[in-house]
A and B are shown apart, each in its own frame.
Chain A
Amino acid sequence: MQHEATHATPNINKAELLKELSHIVSADGILHETETMRPYECDGLSAYRQLPWIVVLPEETDQVQRIVALCHEQQVPIVARGAGTGVSGGALPHAHGVLLSLAKLNRILDIDPNNRTARIEPGVRNLAISQAAAQYNLYYAPDPSSQIACTIGGNVAENSGGVHCLKYGLTVHNIMRLEVITASGERITIGSEALDSPGYDLLALMCGSEGMLGIVTEVTVKLLPRPERVQVMLAAFDDVVKAGAAVAAVIEAGIIPAGLEMMDKLAIQAAEDFAHAGYPRDAEAVLICEVDGSNEEVSEHVATIRDIFLEQGATKVRTAQDEQERAILWKGRKSAFPAVGRISPDYYCMDGTIPRKALPLVLKRISEMSAKYDLAVANVFHAGDGNLHPLILYDANKPGELERTEAFGGKILTLCVEVGGTVTGEHGVGIEKLDQMCVQFGALELEQFHAVKAAFDPQALLNPGKAIPTLHRCAELGGMHVHNGQLPHPELERF
């Protein structure tokens, strides 16, 4: 699929731009031939591909600033990229733009155990922060499934979550300060190492802005002490409605689990065949519940939750007896995506969020639509925070099936909005959900978004055409298309 080029055209030719860039970055930091640029033509949403004009890989903030200033002067669009693990096409290159890779800005500048913060460059991998902080018994809480590869810069751009965000929040709750290069090449600091800052909350605005408002060159993150103890439980149900009620009952009992995940029958069976985690294959739904805290608190919560699950009709409750069993129980859940990829040539992953009480209705409607479109669906659900990932199973080689899948997916997201939810909980809009944004927002809101964008980037040079649709553009659907079980980053866990 080709993405339509939008907005600015550079007033400099490629040779001239390459010459100018060579004054800023060494020769091995500039790529401009088709073959060397090929790895940058897409991110995790590989159905959309576009070769950039030029790829630049700076190593210092100062170089980033000079590149942005140059592009600003010459009207060259810039698409920032971290590890390229995003699944909504947010890092899809621009045909006449610079693809600005921040992967080489990957230094951990400082870990401050007294203030429990880390100051890092944008290309540092999410997991590397926790690894570096481990010596102080601290960690960085947001843990997106791609955490071994994804970068903190990308996490800020997408406001990434993870399976623990009900209790520990998203990126926006866990960063304190950003150093940003503005569209005009100015270096500014947003937020601070204090708990608040004067003026508008630009930090919140930057989180999830998908590289549209500025280029992040440094991030100060909050670190948390490791909990004394972590415990995982698995509960099986013969009815998804009962499982949903059990989730509500745990929350109403005043317990906020560190993680609370649900899978439906098709997802359970696929995961069990793949991971052999001991999930009951005959269950209609399973819940995986993780609690953390002090030793005493965890013991008490495990006992309470166990009682609640049984009261709500669980057919089986299992508590991990050791770290190994805990890892196995999680493995089933974390391998749900590749597991589904084994039972179907292709699948399409949706990312809607709904109020939890709407779950029975939404699952019923998905099931009805599944029959209507003649496409199977496996449902994986961050049940604690209402983030639903229906995986539509299809075969791209069968004529018309991809189109049916996209239509079905669009209906699911529309349904999420109808029940009071949103079209994207954590994957971002990127290029993928531009038209679903038109379902979610009216013209006034979209105009307001464009005005916000213009306040930061009046010439629309930063990641043009992403995240916010123009008013007349509510066009075709895209998706996270997976062929023969191969994700663009097959080595990563997906949940």
Chain B
Amino acid sequence: MGGMDQDNSTAIQQQVTQASHDKSVLDIRGGGSKGFYGHAVNGLPLDVTPHRGITNYAPEELVLTARAATPLAEIEHALNERGQMLPFEPPHYGDSATLGGTIACALSGPRRAAAGAARDFVLGTRLVNGCGHLMSFGGQVMKNVAGYDVSRLQCGAQGTLGVLLDVSLKVLPRPEQELTLTLAADFSDALTRVATLVGQSLPISASCLYDDHLHLRLSGARCALQAAIKKVGGEHSSQSTTFWQQIKEQQHPFFSRFAKQAGSRLWRISLPAATPHLLLDGEWLMEWNGALRWLTSDVSIEQVRRVVSNVGGHATLYRGGNNDDARFHPLSDGVAKLHYQLKRAFDPHGILNPGRIYPSL
């Protein structure tokens, strides 16, 4: 736990209270590594970065609590030293990534399909709502049904319902061993093969199809992996760790290709895993056993969303495009209404990151 650790709750609370009083919009700023995700907020910067430090880590309880601006790298280092990990394998997108930003954006990495998403591991939060009220929800225990699950609700709310102060997470042991097998496969082969393998309870912790190569990461006890290798087949990859790191952090060349082509955008498409290949022109990369598909394409925003909606998925404009392009998939009227009512319940003056996800939310 670093020398920069500091509890800055009171200062943050005071700033929010003042802004609430003045009805002035706040632009919540952590490490800035996920600034590209969502719309820019036009407001007074609220710098939360001084509020950092791991406040409790009990490996035998599988629980870690840290202040929101604690660097993600510091948390992962502490966990690694005790043979544990954040099971949702969050992308950092830069050295400045913090725990708060990770939870606020609810981003999960390659292990998501096997282990669960960021929200699945949130146990509790301390936060300041838009009235400047400092509150605690959930806790540091695995099971808790006291009150509404306001903590998980913060996951993906991008600060629009509250400024995260502390987050408690469930953590898990690191697998004893990980290895990657690579097979030649086209899209439909890959989908079928992955579904079959996962359906057999094989320990597949990540999958990626790109350029007709299916990469499968196996994680678990050494003995279990030896048995699984025989069932999966394929070639051992020697670059296993690097490959998944590049996929997770979008350092793989696929993810920057959109920038080289005028009018091209990088789409994150989330949909039911067994959905056949979508008829949208562009270059594809598949993860999460088919449930997450990245698309680099210059097809119109409306066309992408229409095709994805038709199969029960949603499309996020991840990178590229213009400032005023809608980044997130539109909500149905009924669900949108609940969003605006919830927003008012937490932030009646609309001062916390308004417009970051949807206009005036």
Contacts of A442 in B (CB 8 A): 135
The residue among B60, B116, B313, B358 with the most chain A CB atoms within 10 A of its own CB is B60
Q: Are the C-beta atoms of A204 and B342 separated by less than 8 Å?
A: no
- Pick the contact of B60: A251, A293, A424 (CB < 8 A): A251
Q: Are the C-beta atoms of A444 and B148 separated by less than 8 Å?
A: no
Q: Are the C-beta atoms of B144 and A296 separated by less than 8 Å?
A: no
Interface stretch of the complex, out of A56-64, A180-188, A265-273 = A180-188
Contacts of B58 in A (CB 8 A): 355, 357
Q: Are the C-beta atoms of B150 and A182 separated by less than 8 Å?
A: no
- Counting contact residues on chain A (CB < 8 A from B), the size range is 35 or more
Q: In chain A, what residue has the closest Cβ to B191?
A: A114
Q: Give the complex CA separation of A192 and B133 in angstroms.
A: 33
Q: Are the C-beta atoms of B145 and A429 separated by less than 8 Å?
A: yes
Q: Are the C-beta atoms of A194 and B291 separated by less than 8 Å?
A: yes
- Pick the contact of B149: A172, A226, A355, A448 (CB < 8 A): A172
CB contact list, A214-237 vs B, under 8 A: 224-228
Q: Are the C-beta atoms of B116 and A194 separated by less than 8 Å?
A: no
Q: Are the C-beta atoms of B142 and A192 separated by less than 8 Å?
A: no
Q: Are the C-beta atoms of B274 and A115 separated by less than 8 Å?
A: yes
Contacts of B147 in A (CB 8 A): 429, 437, 440-441, 445, 449, 467-468
Q: Give the complex CA separation of A392 and B76 in angstroms.
A: 43
Q: Are the C-beta atoms of A114 and B195 separated by less than 8 Å?
A: yes
Interface stretch of the complex, out of A19-27, A163-171, A478-486 = A163-171
Any chain A CB within 8 A of the CB of B238? no
Contacts of A192 in B (CB 8 A): 270, 272, 312-314
Interface stretch of the complex, out of B94-102, B278-286, B329-337 = B329-337
Q: Are the C-beta atoms of A194 and B270 separated by less than 8 Å?
A: yes
Contacts of B61 in A (CB 8 A): 248, 251, 355-357, 386
Q: In chain A, what residue has the closest Cβ to B83?
A: A254
Interface stretch of the complex, out of A313-321, A415-423, A487-495 = A415-423
Q: Are the C-beta atoms of B117 and A200 separated by less than 8 Å?
A: no
Any chain B CB within 8 A of the CB of A9? no
Contacts of B220 in A (CB 8 A): 293-294, 297
Interface stretch of the complex, out of B23-31, B196-204, B294-302 = B196-204
Indicate whether A225 sits within 8 Å of B141 (C-beta atoms), given known contacts A251-B60, A355-B63, A441-B147: no
Interface stretch of the complex, out of A37-45, A331-339, A395-403, A450-458 = A450-458
- Pick the contact of A204: B153, B199, B314, B339 (CB < 8 A): B153
Any chain A CB within 8 A of the CB of B119? yes
Contacts of B140 in A (CB 8 A): 355, 420
Any chain A CB within 8 A of the CB of B254? no
- Pick the contact of A165: B62, B143, B270 (CB < 8 A): B143
Q: Give the complex CA separation of A317 and B112 in angstroms.
A: 36
Indicate whether A427 sits within 8 Å of B145 (C-beta atoms), given known contacts A193-B272, A297-B224: yes
- Pick the contact of A455: B135, B176, B341 (CB < 8 A): B341
Q: Are the C-beta atoms of A228 and B201 separated by less than 8 Å?
A: yes
How distant is B342 from chain A, measured CB to nearest CB, in Å? 5
Indicate whether A195 sits within 8 Å of B113 (C-beta atoms), given known contacts A201-B119, A205-B148, A426-B145: yes
Q: Are the C-beta atoms of A112 and B274 separated by less than 8 Å?
A: yes
Contacts of B152 in A (CB 8 A): 172, 201, 204-205
Interface stretch of the complex, out of B3-11, B14-22, B155-163 = B155-163
Q: Are the C-beta atoms of A300 and B223 separated by less than 8 Å?
A: yes
- Pick the contact of B143: A161, A196, A209 (CB < 8 A): A161
Q: Give the complex CA separation of A426 and B145 in angstroms.
A: 6
Contacts of B344 in A (CB 8 A): 455
Any chain A CB within 8 A of the CB of B206? no
Any chain A CB within 8 A of the CB of B345? yes
Question: Which 5 A-B residue pairs are closest in the complex by CB-CB distance?
Answer: A204-B152, A254-B173, A188-B334, A451-B345, A455-B341
26 A-B residue pairings within 8 Å (CB atoms): A113-B199, A116-B199, A172-B152, A192-B314, A195-B291, A199-B336, A200-B156, A200-B157, A201-B153, A204-B152, A205-B148, A205-B149, A225-B201, A227-B201, A255-B173, A297-B224, A300-B223, A387-B142, A420-B141, A429-B147, A441-B136, A444-B135, A448-B133, A448-B150, A452-B342, A455-B338
Q: List B residues at the A interface (Cβ < 8 Å).
A: 58-63, 83, 106, 112-113, 116-117, 119-120, 129, 133-137, 139-150, 152-153, 155-157, 161, 172-174, 176, 195, 198-201, 203, 220-221, 223-224, 226-228, 270-274, 288, 291-292, 312-314, 316, 328-332, 334-336, 338-339, 341-342, 344-346, 357-358
| Given A199-B336, A199-B339, A204-B153, 6 new contacts (CB under 8 A) | A187-B334, A188-B334, A188-B335, A196-B270, A256-B173, A296-B226
